[in-house]
Amino acid sequence: MKILDIYARLKRDMNYIEKELEKSIYSDYTIMRETSAHLLKAGGKRIRPVFVLLAGQFGNYQLDQIKHVAVPMELIHMASLVHDDVIDDADTRRGQLTVKSKWDNRIAMYTGDYIFAKALGVVTQLPNPWIHQIMSKAIMEMSIGEMEQIRFFFHTGQTIRNYLLRIKRKTALLIAISCQLGAIAANAPKSVSQKLFLFGYNVGMAFQIRDDVLDLCGTEQQIGKPPGSDIKQGNITLPMLLALQEESLREPLLQEIARIQAVDGQTDVSAFIRMIRGSNGIVKAEAMAARYIEKAIVALKDLPDLQAKKDLIRIAHFVGNRSY
């Protein structure tokens, strides 16, 4: 798989970032050390630091500078996952026990706060206030995106625009600024960091759409949790909204959603999943994801033909076809 080549090329630098991540959340305080180690061990693709490092190659790439963006971007992502698990009542993520289930909700909340604060501590070691402002705004938007998601739970009257704005805030912005800030931290020109932002934004949108498709079409092994967790929670995603537009399916789907809502998601949702899979919602959503990927690649058009550019394009294609 080509994505592995990229990681191989970045391996030395990513190992360094991993060590810095470990150091950053090392604490003298026992519970904190345990929850943090647990989070690190649970892993993840570290896709945000990868974007930071690749984007940094369009400027003056110095790992000891760029790490001050790569590490906090992953920390912010980790903190938001910990807080989401409190909200989602999730007991596992990526097949691992969550902080919330292994310790408790309260510990998870403060672990998240601690990691957010650490992200602030790391990023402010770079003296560029523009970087701080971008990061602060992105976390604010992310929080709003999470609230939007809650507000729209089981809300079948929402528009596709509502959905797109929400995943922009919730997912795409953080990937967009990973690319943008990697470039800014490497002193790349503003025109370059803007193009990388646009690239990241579009990849992020595709990433979330694919994620939402996978929740309906993936196996438990692929997605690390049982399929259908979105609708159980009330999260109406793009394939569902597209399926709801089909006249013959609309009424039965609304009834099924009402049934699931009435029992607060505590029910078998395989009939619902079959209905969505039987609609054109999946194919249409994948087509939208593909269009975002195209736009992402177009955004890179005028950037110099570095290896990093090829790598970004490859990652974009990989995200477009993701089944992990």
- What residue ranges bind a second copy (CB under 8 A)? 27, 29, 31-32, 80, 83, 86-87, 104-107, 109-114, 116-118, 120-121, 124-125, 127, 129, 132-133, 135-137, 139-140, 142-144, 146-148, 150-151
Strand partners, 97: 92
Tell the smallest beta-carbon distance from residue 27 to a second copy (Å).
7
Residue 124 or 156 having the CB closest to a second copy: 124
Residue 118 or 195 having the CB closest to a second copy: 118
Residue 32 or 97 having the CB closest to a second copy: 32
Tell the smallest beta-carbon distance from residue 238 to a second copy (Å).
22
Tokens at residue 217, please?
């079409």
Per-residue b or e along 146-164, where b marks 16 or more CB atoms closer than 10 Å to that residue's CB: bebbeebebeeebeeebbb
Tell the smallest beta-carbon distance from residue 302 to a second copy (Å).
31
Residue 117 or 283 having the CB closest to a second copy: 117
| Collapsed DSSP state (helix, strand, coil) of residue 234 | coil
Tokens at residue 89, please?
């009542």
Q: What is the DSSP string of 43-103?
A: ----HHHHHHHHHHTTS---HHHHHHHHHHHHHHHHHHHHHHHHHHT-SEETTEE-HHHHS
| Collapsed DSSP state (helix, strand, coil) of residue 97 | strand
Tell the smallest beta-carbon distance from residue 184 to a second copy (Å).
14
Tell the smallest beta-carbon distance from residue 90 to a second copy (Å).
13
Tell the smallest beta-carbon distance from residue 9 to a second copy (Å).
32
Residue 135 or 308 having the CB closest to a second copy: 135
Question: What φ, ψ does residue 96 adopt, rounded to 5°?
Answer: -105, 150
Question: What φ, ψ does residue 105 adopt, rounded to 5°?
Answer: -55, -40
Residue 102 or 295 having the CB closest to a second copy: 102
C-alpha span between 180 and 316 (Å, rounded): 16
C-alpha span between 3 and 314 (Å, rounded): 7
